[in-house]
Structure 1
Amino acid sequence: MINIGLTGWGDHPDVYSPGSKKTERLIDYSSHFPIVELDSSFYAVQPERNITKWINETPDGFQFIVKAYQGMTGHQRGENPFESVDAMFEAYIKSVRPMKEAGKLAMVLLQFPPWFDCKKEHVDQIRGISEKLKEFDLAIEFRHQSWYSPELREKTLEFLRENNLIHSVCDEPQAGDGSIPLVPISTRTDKVLVRLHGRNVHGWTSPGHGQKWREVRYLYDYNKEELKEINEAVNSLNSTTDQVYVIFNNNSGGHAAGNAKAFKELNGLEYNNLAPKQMDLFEGGF
């Protein structure tokens, strides 16, 4: 089964009902897509009231891919707000657990930074983190090309298989060591994650954008041929894996929702577990 969604629900105006409030955006979103990536959990461990609200606002069967807190994956700069590493993990687990108990947690996504290369120290770190979060299904996303070098690619995939970790398959700009190739291989038979970051090579690597770097990094609109190319990879994964989760992350210019709807139409998909407030704002596709 191919499940299509977007990163977050707060910045996709094309899916909101006319006149809807900011607080209703997840409800609107869930009338269009059956999954979402929760990225606010990367910046701060979310309080229980937020998690409970999001669980209650979404229909039965709706699934969250929850991003790991930045302090857990080596992204954090400056002082960690937690008194210890154990306290950080305990807070995160307590935050995410209600989603699992509600049957709405697809996986926790551990996205490692571009400087996290393939070496024993980092492999051991993944093992340690996986042990701490063992009650959850975990997806691993690398950003350093060394994990997929000709001599290490199969070892990387085998490591994920051996540790029952979900492979995060990425489509992103091919821009040196800080990017990875599209490797459409699933390391579990039940779940695989596909994240589509766009192909903006200049925006991916250029430090000259200052504070606007994140806005430029994911500025990309997939064309028909590119979506067809990605679709081949996704359907290959679908032939080996029960659930394929496809997340469009190319939203710097607001293209993610339209690309996701076009991808849904390309596969002739209709979802039954959507919120009843559905409005088709994408009639005609491309």
Structure 2
Amino acid sequence: MSGILVGTCSWTDPALVRSGWYPVGRRDAEGRLRHYAERFPVVEADASYYAMPQERISRMWVERTQDGFTFDVKAFSLLTGHPTREAMMPDGMPADARDGGVLDELWSRFAEAIGPLRRAGRLGSVLFQFPPWLRPGARAERVLAQTARRTAGWPVAVEFRHPDWWRAEQSDSTSALLADHGMTAVAVDMAQGLPSSLPPFVTVTTSRLAVVRFHGRSTSWGRGSKEDRFRYAYTPDELTSWTPQLHRLAGQVEQVHVLFNNCCGDASVRAAEQMKRLLRVSHGCA
């Protein structure tokens, strides 16, 4: 499977479920995924960031979707250095990233959980979204090297949240670092002009995959509630401005994942549907 795959960063977001996008009779867990997969060829599973995923659930995802449907899976929070609530840790494990034994066990469980997706050829990438306090430097390079060792053989995509990674004077070094580790650089669309705004920098660091995540353009980025940060409805002109770049990316890599994270009501699925029409791409699944 090749080309441009368009989808959203969740199919289970409560605001989407409440929006009425899922029809009556397809609002249970199985029905929602089947309904989504009939309309889009890719999705990002973001629940795995908040709680350790389970092999049993991954197996059900494979069973409930057609051949060719692709899952991008977000890495568990503690694996990227984010604070994690004890209640989200499996089996009462301490949420202590300094404990090597805890980290070893979490990495092992995460690898086991995504196993069914890998074996079925359904794993598009594992997204490592690093926190905004991880800035360019020796410590960050060690973190990336450790991540590369832990994920050998996995398709990995990296989204940095500190703006310095993609400043003009740093961008070439960032691209080279990710390319050396075989990691896909994630480009983002978001509001510009804020202290925490990430430049809309697009670069190819692997020939296999490019990823663009659309966060919306809310000026509440970096503050406020989740809905404040991600509440945004893209206009046709805003989406159209991206289409030449996305087509160029498609000519450089095997596959492009375009994922909408403006998760407020049904804004993400509506934007994804519109982007599919603008790009004139089909569903994309066999």
Question: So what's the TM-score if we normalise by structure 2?
Answer: 0.89
Q: Distance in 2 between matches of 1:204 and 1:223?
A: 19
Residue 204 in structure 1 maps to residue 210 in structure 2: no
**Contact residue 21 and residue 266 of structure 2 kept, 8 A:** no
Partner amino acid, structure 2, of 1:3? L
Report the count of equivalent residues. 268
Report the counterpart of residue 19 of structure 1 in structure 2. Answer: 25
Residue-by-residue CA offset, 1:13-61 (whole Å, 9 max, x unaligned): 4642333232210011001000000001101111222111111001000
Task: Give unpaired runs (5+ residues) of structure 1.
Answer: 275-286
SS at 2:83 equivalent = coil
Of 238, 245, 249, 1:237 maps to: 249
**Contact residue 110 and residue 139 of structure 1 kept, 8 A:** yes
Q: Distance in 2 between matches of 1:53 and 1:94?
A: 14
Displacement, 1:174?
2.1
Q: Distance in 1 between matches of 2:215 and 2:66?
A: 27
Q: Distance in 1 between matches of 2:207 and 2:147?
A: 22
Q: Distance in 2 between matches of 1:175 and 1:153?
A: 18
Report the counterpart of residue 98 of structure 2 in structure 1. Answer: none
User: What is the correspondence of 1:24-39 to structure 2 with a 5 Å cutoff?
Assistant: 24-39=31-46
Partner amino acid, structure 2, of 1:53? M
Q: Distance in 2 between matches of 1:250 and 1:217?
A: 9
Residue-by-residue CA offset, 1:227-263 (whole Å, 9 max, x unaligned): 0112222112112112000000012242111111111
Question: So what's the TM-score if we normalise by structure 1?
Answer: 0.89
Displacement, 1:176?
4.0
Report the counterpart of residue 228 of structure 1 in structure 2. Answer: 240
Report the counterpart of residue 138 of structure 1 in structure 2. Answer: 156
Report the counterpart of residue 97 of structure 2 in structure 1. Answer: none
Task: Give unpaired runs (5+ residues) of structure 2.
Answer: 95-100
Displacement, 1:175?
4.6
Aligned Cα root-mean-square deviation (Å) = 1.6
Q: Distance in 2 between matches of 1:164 and 1:71?
A: 22
**Contact residue 146 and residue 177 of structure 1 kept, 8 A:** no
User: What is the correspondence of 1:146-161 to structure 2 with a 5 Å cutoff?
Assistant: 146-161=164-179
SS at 2:240 equivalent = helix
Displacement, 1:272?
4.9
SS at 1:5 equivalent = strand
SS at 1:260 equivalent = helix
Q: Distance in 2 between matches of 1:16 and 1:253?
A: 11
Report the counterpart of residue 261 of structure 1 in structure 2. Answer: 273
Q: Distance in 2 between matches of 1:36 and 1:272?
A: 12
Partner amino acid, structure 1, of 2:248? S
Q: Distance in 2 between matches of 1:161 and 1:226?
A: 29
SS at 1:143 equivalent = coil
Partner amino acid, structure 1, of 2:184? I
Report the counterpart of residue 281 of structure 1 in structure 2. Answer: none
Quick check: 47-56 or 63-72, which moved more?
Answer: 47-56
Q: Distance in 2 between matches of 1:149 and 1:221?
A: 27
**Contact residue 217 and residue 252 of structure 1 kept, 8 A:** no
SS at 1:195 equivalent = strand
**Contact residue 167 and residue 199 of structure 2 kept, 8 A:** no
Of 32, 53, 77, 2:60 maps to: 53
Residue 76 in structure 1 maps to residue 79 in structure 2: no
**Contact residue 61 and residue 104 of structure 1 kept, 8 A:** yes
**Contact residue 159 and residue 185 of structure 2 kept, 8 A:** yes
Q: Distance in 2 between matches of 1:272 and 1:121?
A: 40
Report the counterpart of residue 166 of structure 1 in structure 2. Answer: 184
Partner amino acid, structure 2, of 1:191? L
Of 142, 163, 167, 1:124 maps to: 142
SS at 2:241 equivalent = helix
Q: Identity rate of aligned residues, in percent?
A: 30
